[in-house]
Amino acid sequence: MRAALTEAAAARATGDVPIGAVVLGPDRRILARGRNVREADGDPTGHAEVVALRAAAREVGEWRLSGCTLVVTLEPCTMCAGAAVLARVDRIVFAAWDEKGGAVGSLWDVVRDRRLNHRPEVVTGVMAAESARLLEEFFAEQR
């Protein structure tokens, strides 16, 4: 999670919401890193999770990320939760809950929907205070 928080902090430099992600391989080695780049790249899909999942797929040479763990500083939205399911990650670990747009248990629960063919394990609350603090500082500056 510390690596994901480092990515989140770097997103602030481009005016992006400070959300960071890493993908760990089956051996727990960091395969890929990502941070929000929506503002930096003008890309509506430039969420930290999508950036990290794309980079991890390039690293392993295929889209299936079986055995991998997605670690992210904020509960994934519907797009990112769906991407994690489609990438077949084994586990999603996130820090802070997103009561307004989260799709891994708060507002929606995409990853546990029995109609889907893959359901990753979910671990929550890892370094949640640190992640929430980054987000609170960012949005306080925006006001």
Is 49 labeled as catalytic in the residue annotation?
Answer: yes
Tell me, yes or no, whether 44 lies in a domain.
yes
Tell me, yes or no, whether 143 lies in a domain.
no
pTM of the model: 0.96
Tell me, yes or no, whether 3 lies in a domain.
yes
Q: Detail the DSSP E strand segments found in the chain.
A: 20-24, 30-35, 69-74, 91-96, 121-124
Tell me, yes or no, whether 141 lies in a domain.
no
Q: What is the pLDDT of residues 29-87, one digit of tens each?
A: 999 999 999 999 999 999 999 999 999 999 999 999 999 999 999 999 999 999 999 99
7, 39, 49, 130: the catalytic one is 49
- 77 has binding-site annotation: yes
Antiparallel, parallel or unpaired: β 121-124 and 20-24: unpaired
* Angle of the 78-87 helix axis to the 48-60 helix axis, nearest 10: 20
**In the predicted model, is pLDDT for residue 143 greater than 80?**
no
> For residue 36, what are the domain limits?
1-136
User: What is the Cα–Cα distance from 50 to 17, expressed in whole angstroms?
Assistant: 14
Our count of domains for the chain comes to 1
- 47 has binding-site annotation: yes
Tell me, yes or no, whether 102 lies in a domain.
yes
pLDDT band at 94 (very low <50, low <70, confident <90, very high): very high
**pLDDT > 90 fraction of the chain, expressed in percent and rounded:** 98
Tell me, yes or no, whether 52 lies in a domain.
yes
Tell me, yes or no, whether 25 lies in a domain.
yes
Query: What's the CATH number where 4 sits?
Result: 3.40.140.10
The predicted structure's pLDDT at residue 142: 84
Q: Contact, 34 vs 11, CB < 8 A?
A: no
